[in-house]
Amino acid sequence: ERAANLISSFKRVAADQTSGEMREFDVVECFKDTILSLEPKLNPSHISVEIHGGEGLRINNSPGSLSQVATNLILNATLHAYPEGAGGKIDIWITVTPQKEVEIRFQDSGRGIHKDQTKRIFEPFVTSLRAKGGTGLGLSIVYNIITRNFSGTVECQSDLGKGATFIIRFPLEQAVESTTPA
């Protein structure tokens, strides 16, 4: 049953990411499918991902685009936030703000990012792992998807030794139905 769920999740995520189709979807289910599809990379790194809130929040946009954002942020944390094999945790909070925006917070408890680098982190080709094959495109892609496809914003807050938090906000008007309290 677990293998069947994993295959089904892979298919949904792959189809959504390649089609770019706009449709109504549940935000939490999109994240769960993405996390399930990333388990082969997360398990060896001993990094867990937990989703908080967002139940019943449905939006009309591209689930593949949101899945790509989640993938890039999660994989970025597995590569940069924690020493290899050390393990760690990523928390994702999904809420609706009083300003009527969907807010998604990705927070890791890793090594953090130097303040100088947080100012440039969404620029293409900015990476701390160039020597290990890092391209520096992951967060640039996140920024472009959120600002262009979702008419939103994305920011990074971090201190060395205290992890990193990526805050994504986009207009609630894209929401189809929400049972999440404001």
Give the list of residues 6+ apart from residue 125 with CB closer than 8 angstroms, or none. Answer: 135, 136, 137, 140
**Tell me: the pLDDT tens digits for 58-116?**
998 889 999 999 999 999 898 888 887 788 999 999 999 999 899 999 999 999 988 88
Structure confidence at residue 154 (pLDDT): 97
What own/partner pairs with CB < 8 Å and gap ≥ 24 does 4-7 have?
Answer: 5/36, 6/36, 6/37, 6/39
Q: Whole-model pTM?
A: 0.81
Q: 134 pLDDT band (50/70/90 cuts)?
A: low
